[in-house]
Each structure stands twice: as structure tokens, then as C-alpha cells.
Chain A
Amino acid sequence: MSAITQTEEANLQLDTQGFAIVVDGLRKRYGSLVAVDGISFRVKEREIFGLLGPNGAGKTTTVEILEGLRQTDEGRVLVAGIDVRKVPDKVKGVIGVQLQSSAFFDGLSLLELLDLFAALYGRSVDAMALLEKVDLKEKARSNVNKLSGGQKQRFSIATALVNEPKILFLDEPTTGLDPQARRNLWELAQAIRTEGRTIVLTTHYMDEAETLCDRVAIMDHGKILAMEPPDLLIQRLLDKGFHSQRVERSANLEDVFLDMTGHGLREG
């Protein structure tokens, strides 16, 4: 390696310090379709970063590249300082992944599954403590298919935490959940961030992004249209003279729903 590239490497180290994820000029094609069209962004450490966009915008592809599940065509991707392109397996070791359709082997209990996942990372884990964290201690010996939707998502997050990941990827974690379960999951996400982990979240729920995310990137057609804290994006829109058709009140229907049915979780 020449002296110049060594300096570049050194600059890169400085450049990327304090960032959990660095993406520069990422491009990905499927045949003639450009799924991700040269995007660049950075996710700060301990940040909850939202990736928003309609279906087909390219956010799933982006996330899958960050997770080491897909090859990149062009661009530089560093996850926890590791080049995903060069050592995807090393990246997999320091991140936690909760997938949209997370199913698990039938026939194993939650405890056994957590032990299994820990083994896949080459470590052992206090499975019971992990289940306690996601409020599933009573279900420790059950099968996954005996869990409710919210419980499944929480268990899925527990499996993503077995390796004490620096960065946690949550892919539409609250889709299909009732309001109580959603709020419960938000609390879990915030608790995980408090432990010092970075969270990358994709969601179709704008209220979720608004509540949880420090910053969001809005994607469409493989490009990032905007990347700011939610409040700032809203303020910008208002500054342009935007007026909602809807009459804003200080409470909405969800507040009514939760007021009547309570915040307690409804799960068998």
C-alpha cells in the first residue's frame, strides 16, 4: 500500500469518527432498474435514524446492503467502521437485525432459540435476562407460533440483541400491531437506545417516525429527498405556507382509543 492511500485511510478514520454508519455514493441496480441511485448519508452514534419512503423507494435495498445481505454496485459503506463490501460477515457480527417477516424454527422454545442465535454469533447469552428485557419472561418455554403479533416482534428484537450489537436495524417493527403494542415497542426502542445503541428504523407510520426518530431520511426513486430532524422538516413545510386540510386538535382518535382501552398490553 502506498503512502498516499495510507493517508487517505487515516483521513477516512477521522472523517468517519462518531458515526455509526457512513454511506457515500451508494448505487445498486437490478438489471435496468436502479434501486438505489448514488445516495450518501451518515448515521450518528446513539441516534434513532428513520428511513422513510413509499414502497419501491429503495429503502429496503439500502438497509439490506447495510446489513451485509446484498452486494453493492458502487459506493462506500461503513457500518460501525467496517467496510461492508470487504467483510460483510464481520459487519453481521456487530449489528442486530429485526426483519419484517421474522419467522423462526418451529419446535424450539424462546429460550432455545435465543441460545441458538447466540451460538450463531459464537457466544453464549443470558436468555432469561434478554426475555425479561422484552417482557416475555412468562413465555420463555413457549413456541414462537404461540405468541401474539406484538410479542413476536419483541421476541424478534430479543434475537437481534443476543450479540450486544452496536447498531440495531428495525424493519417496520409495528406493522399490524394494535396501538397498545405499538407504544410498548416504541418504549422498548427508546430503552435500547438509552443503552448506547444506534437504531436504524424503516416505517410507513409517520407518527412513529415523528415520535422515535432524531433524524429521518425521506427516499423516493432510489434518491434521498431530504434528511433532517422531523420537527425541522415539518417547520420547513409550514414556512412554505402549507396548511393542513385537517383541523389540528391537541388530541386525535388514537388518544381517545387509548384513553378508553388503556395503555396496558393485550396479549394472551
Chain B
Amino acid sequence: MLTWSSLKAYFRNRGAIFFSLLVPLMIMGIFGLINFGNGTPTVNIGIVDQANNQVSQRIVSSLQGIKAVKLHRGGLDSEKHELQQGNRDLVAILPPSVGQGSTAITAYYNQGNPQNSQVALAIMNQFVDRASFAFAGISPALTLDTKPVQSRNLTYVDFLVPGMIALSIMQTGLFGVVFTFVQWKQRGILRRLMATPMRVRDFFFSQLVTRLTTVALQIAVLLAVGLFLFHFHFAGNLLYLLIVGIIGGGIFLAMGLAISGASKSEETAAPIANLVSLPLMFLSGIFFSRSNMPEWLQTITQYSPLTYVSDALRSISIDGASLWAIRTDLLGIFIWLAIAVVIATRLFKWEVV
């Protein structure tokens, strides 16, 4: 009954619902449209140098001279793997026979990202044409064999949507709880409830259900918008996504309770909540990959609760990971949940003392 009333009361507050969905959607819209990830015009070419002689080294160094090319050197398997991961637009193989008469250079290109791989192909073709005359004299000694490879092609949106889901889970948990509870405390609502024989665990259960329902709703809306408006590639299990979202939501709910317990008014609660949420928001790989951070920062931020949640959500939705595959993230989530619950039970107070 308490749970039902709490749900009813919460969802009648249309303003709150609207904003709990609007903000993540807005951020997703802005970042999705700007599309940071695809802004770079460089093409990634992988070179597998099997010859490693004077001629092949000259080929490599001249390729390195081309501005739009980011050259990666590596073994056949690793470069082909990178191509499949979408990290290369083209992988060219220089066979051992390079420099010894007519040689075919094999080039694998990524057909799923034609824009970039066509550029890479054109560069390679031109280069081979020029080089073959230069190296061998009369007839084109080098020809280009091209072979398409299908690979997954992650866009920035694919990175962003799970991050946005994680972000909105945190915001709902922290701010939703902090503001309502501090307000309830100040207005004496909690005191009035304490004057009834209401069981405390019923009360918290009702709150938990209400908030986690909101979290589930947010996940659904963000996912739908990502799928239909931004062509989000969702490869995972929806149930897993919900499970991680809801358990992760628990962490931030408990944190919210702790903050509302520790603070006497909204004026003190809001800065504390921001103090917690802002660093988490920017250091947990929500908008940008943490791999752009300096290494020491990566080491620290990998333990952030939001990193665990967003990494887990990302693995599920992009890689189609099972719960077992993300067990490290889940462990991190559970440890944070335990910490947050302990702090919350210590700090939460029913009334303004």
C-alpha cells in the first residue's frame, strides 16, 4: 500500500518525471549531433611488413609522410584483428617478396565504413602506382589486390548511449532522493510518518521500488531514443541491462540517502550532491573514453562506481556481454553498493535535529 501510494504520488508529479528524462536526453541529443567521435579526417592504415628490407622500409616511410594517414605497424593477426574491431580502415600486407620483381600487396579494407576505407584505398592505389614505377622501372611491379572485410563499426552514439543511461541512473539516485528526502524532512512529512506504527523497512522498500521503477523507465526511453533517432547499435540482452541498471541505481540511491541524512536543508544538500556527482560524471568515461586520460587518472577512475556501471552497461549493449563476462564490473558495483548502504545507515536521520 505504501509502495503503491508512493508510486502514484511520484508519477503524478509530471514535472519531476519530465526532467528526469529530459536532461539525459538533452545531453544525448547535443553530444549525439555533434558526434565528437567521427570528427577526425585521418584514416587508419595498418602495415604488416613481412619483407622488412630496404624497399619495404621505404614504402613504410613514404606512407608515414602522408598527412591524412595514421600508420600502424604490426603482425598480420593483430592488424587484422584491429581491422575487425573497426580500428583500421585498411590493412596492407607487404609480402617477403617486396622489392624482388613483381609483387602483389594485399590490402584488406573495412567495407562497413566506406567513407574512410575509400579514402585509404585511394591513397594506397595512388601510392602503389607511383611507387611501382619508381621501384621497378618500366612496368608496374606492384599491383594492389583489394579484399573487403566486414567489421563492427562503432559510432560515438554507441559509446554515448550506455554512458547516458549510467548518468541518468546516477542523477535519479542522487538528486531524486536527496531533494525529496530533505524536503520531506524539513516539511515534517517524515516525522508524521514516524508517529505512525509504520515499519521503517516498508518505507524504504516503497522508496526503493519507486526510484528503481523510474530508473527502468529511463533506461527504456534512452534506449528507444538511441535506437530510433541515433542509430544506436544495441547488441546485448535487455534484461542484463536492466539488472545492472537497477543494482547500479541502488548505489546512488544509498548515496542519496546518506547525503540527505547528513544535510539539514536543501541549501547544504545540493552542493554535497554536486560535489559527488560532478567528478563522477566527468571522470567515469560517460562522454569520452577514459583512454584519453593520463594513465594515473585512468588508474584512479577505474574504481569509480559510475565507471563500473557505465563499463558494464557498455559491455552489455555493445559487445553483447553476459553477466559472467562483466563479473569484474559487477563485483565493483556490489562492493560500492555495500559501502554506500553502510554509510547511508550511519548517516540517515529521520528529522532535522
Per the CB 8 Å criterion, the residue count for chain A at the interface is 27
Closest Cβ of chain B to A238, distance in Å, is: 40
A254 to B85, alpha carbons, bound, how many Å?
Answer: 85
Known A107-B9, A116-B5; contact A101-B187, beta-carbon cutoff 8 A:
yes
Contacts of A122 in B (CB 8 A): 197
Contact of B8 among A89, A102, A107 (CB under 8 A): A107
A107 touches B197 (CB 8 A): no
Closest Cβ of chain B to A63, distance in Å, is: 11
- Chain A, 91-124, contact with B by CB distance < 8 Å: what is the 0/1 string? 0110001011111111110001001110111100
- When C-beta atoms are compared, the residue in chain B nearest to A112 turns out to be B5
A116 touches B197 (CB 8 A): no
B1 touches A116 (CB 8 A): yes
B196 touches A117 (CB 8 A): yes
Contact of A67 among B9, B13, B193, B195 (CB under 8 A): B195
A97 to B195, alpha carbons, bound, how many Å?
Answer: 7
- Chain B, 1-13, contact with A by CB distance < 8 Å: what is the 0/1 string? 1100110111011
A191 at interface, CB cutoff 8 A:
no
B73 at interface, CB cutoff 8 A:
no
A120 touches B193 (CB 8 A): yes
CB within 8 Å of B: which A109-150 residues: 112, 115-117, 119-122
Contacts of A159 in B (CB 8 A): 192
A234 at interface, CB cutoff 8 A:
no
A69 touches B194 (CB 8 A): yes
B188 at interface, CB cutoff 8 A:
yes
Contacts of A69 in B (CB 8 A): 191, 194-195
Q: Interface extent on B, as a size class?
A: 20 to 34
B13 touches A106 (CB 8 A): yes
- Chain B, 178-194, contact with A by CB distance < 8 Å: what is the 0/1 string? 00000010011101111
A107 touches B13 (CB 8 A): yes
- When C-beta atoms are compared, the residue in chain A nearest to B9 turns out to be A107
A107 touches B12 (CB 8 A): yes
B198 at interface, CB cutoff 8 A:
yes
A89 to B193, alpha carbons, bound, how many Å?
Answer: 12
B9 touches A106 (CB 8 A): yes
A104 touches B192 (CB 8 A): yes
Contacts of A120 in B (CB 8 A): 1-2, 193, 196-198
A122 to B199, alpha carbons, bound, how many Å?
Answer: 11
A103 touches B188 (CB 8 A): yes
Contact of A119 among B2, B8, B10, B191 (CB under 8 A): B2
Contacts of B5 in A (CB 8 A): 105, 108, 112, 115-116, 119
Closest Cβ of chain A to B353, distance in Å, is: 9
Contacts of A90 in B (CB 8 A): 197
B8 touches A108 (CB 8 A): yes
Contacts of A99 in B (CB 8 A): 188, 191-192, 195
Contacts of A102 in B (CB 8 A): 188, 192
Closest Cβ of chain A to B199, distance in Å, is: 8
B195 touches A104 (CB 8 A): no
A90 to B196, alpha carbons, bound, how many Å?
Answer: 10
A108 touches B9 (CB 8 A): yes
Contacts of A89 in B (CB 8 A): 197
Contacts of A119 in B (CB 8 A): 1-2, 5
Closest Cβ of chain B to A153, distance in Å, is: 13
B13 touches A92 (CB 8 A): no
Known A92-B197, A101-B187, A120-B198; contact A107-B10, beta-carbon cutoff 8 A:
yes
A103 touches B193 (CB 8 A): no
- Chain B, 73-100, contact with A by CB distance < 8 Å: what is the 0/1 string? 0000000000000000000000000000
- Chain A, 80-94, contact with B by CB distance < 8 Å: what is the 0/1 string? 000000000110110
Contacts of A100 in B (CB 8 A): 188
- When C-beta atoms are compared, the residue in chain A nearest to B191 turns out to be A99
CB within 8 Å of A: which B1-54 residues: 1-2, 5-6, 8-10, 12-13
Contacts of A101 in B (CB 8 A): 187-188
Known A97-B195, A116-B2; contact A103-B10, beta-carbon cutoff 8 A:
no
A120 to B202, alpha carbons, bound, how many Å?
Answer: 9
Contacts of B194 in A (CB 8 A): 69
A177 to B20, alpha carbons, bound, how many Å?
Answer: 38
B187 touches A103 (CB 8 A): yes
**13 A-B Cβ contacts within 8 A?**
A68-B195, A92-B196, A97-B196, A102-B192, A105-B189, A106-B13, A107-B8, A107-B9, A107-B10, A117-B196, A119-B5, A120-B1, A120-B193
With A112-B8, A117-B196, A119-B5 already in contact, 11 other A-B pairs whose C-beta atoms are closer than 8 Å: A92-B196, A92-B197, A99-B188, A99-B191, A99-B195, A101-B188, A103-B189, A116-B1, A120-B2, A120-B196, A120-B197
